[in-house]
Amino acid sequence: MRRILRINGDIPLMGSVAFGLIDRGTNLIQVRPSSSCPLSCIFCSTDAGPKSRTRRTEFLVDLNYIISWFERLVESKGISDIEAHIDTVGDPFLYPKIVDLVKRLRDIPEVKVISAQTHGPLLTQKLIGELEGRIDRINLSIDSLEEGKAKYLAGSDWFRIDKVIEAAKRVAQSSIDLLIAPIWVPGLNDEDIPKIIEFALSIGAGKIWPALGIQKYEAYRGGRKPKGVKPISWGEFYRKLAELEREFGVKLILSPDDFGIRKVKPVEPRLRKGEILNVKVLGEGWKVGEVLAVARNRVVTVLDSPPVPPGSLIKVRVIRDRDNIYYARFTGGV
């Protein structure tokens, strides 16, 4: 059984892909207040949901704590056109204080856009009403409009695509912009993509931003890989999108410019790839074979560590430092 680690002040909120904040050197900040997901999508890149075979820990961050870190990060970036994108490695609407989070982000003057990414199982009429006037855009992943296939792709027999369809219509009718973002899984939902495009256009998605953001299925290490499915090349993917653009007269090949995303100075890295240093163990990591540790006010995910009690100091070699996300490999005790 997975444990839930509640984070309220003892653990830094930068350094992990699973929770906290991610700055990839643009004016968009990824906000990850929790990691859990109610679905077990068969193509999930992070092996989320009840059927996960690799996750050992789920994270839940205190609202005040994540806002305080966000405000400091915004101040350090020194820009006034921030997009706060609530995406998570699960479903952000599972966060118990999601409405309060959006409200608090809205109160920050430098935040000009608030967006969120979801498959929609928790997107109720009540929640949409509470978010209206506060959130700017919802990126809604609909992978099939057909009930049986939607359940299969979601890996969840209880999943109701008809409810998600109604939620999509409600969002499109509100002041919230809607972007439909299916994951195109070759061989599984090829025939669904044109229908999803027609649906998005018919309900008025894309009032300000693009109506669709079709995502390419990728087979990630540690993610789920549907049997018999092989990712297509990026060249083939863009050729298919170009064909659909001509057929439907809608833009499908997108760039950061379509969302006002621009490169800015990133937060200075605290650790460097190849560096050997001592880290303090916090406990079990997000996934099997990982240990959560901290160094220089950053979270470090340590691989190949033997079981060590929290509070222990261990020596590691940093193997990843991109985007202030840190992975290291255990090299020995201190």
Q: Is 240 helix (H, G, I), strand (E, B) or coil?
A: helix
> Which CA distances in Å does 11 have to 31, 58, 75?
16, 14, 20
Q: What is the pLDDT along the chain (334 residues), one digit of tens a residue?
A: 689 999 998 899 999 999 999 999 999 999 999 999 999 999 999 999 999 999 999 999 999 999 999 999 999 999 999 999 999 999 999 999 999 999 999 999 999 999 999 999 999 999 999 999 999 999 999 999 999 999 999 999 999 999 999 999 999 999 999 999 999 999 999 999 999 999 999 999 999 999 999 999 999 988 999 999 999 999 999 999 999 999 999 999 999 999 999 999 899 999 999 999 999 999 999 999 999 999 999 999 999 999 899 999 999 999 999 999 999 999 987 6
- How many Cα atoms sit within 13 Å of 188 on the Cβ side? 26
User: What is the H or E stretch that residue 216 is in?
Assistant: strand 215-216
| CA–CA distance, 103 with 243 (Å, rounded to integer) | 40
CATH of 3-259, one of 3.90.320.10, 2.60.220.30, 3.20.20.70, 3.40.50.360: 3.20.20.70
Q: Which amino acid is at 92?
A: P
Pick the closest to residue 216 from 118, 143, 148 (CA basis). 143
Q: Which residue stretches of 132-185 are H helix?
A: 147-154, 161-173
3-259 and 276-333 have identical folds: no
Q: Which amino acid is at 21?
A: L
Pick the closest to residue 36 from 91, 101, 117, 86 (CA basis). 91
8 Å CB contact between 10 and 293: no
CATH architecture of 276-333: Beta Barrel (2.40)
Q: Which residues of 75-109 are buried (b: 16+ CB within 10 A; e: fewer)?
A: eebeeeebbbbbbbbbbbbbbebbbebbbbbeebe
| CA–CA distance, 111 with 114 (Å, rounded to integer) | 7
| CA–CA distance, 179 with 98 (Å, rounded to integer) | 19
Q: What is the largest CA-CA distance in the chain?
A: 62
Domains of the chain: which residue ranges?
A: 3-259, 276-333
> Which CA distances in Å does 224 have to 33, 48, 117?
23, 9, 19
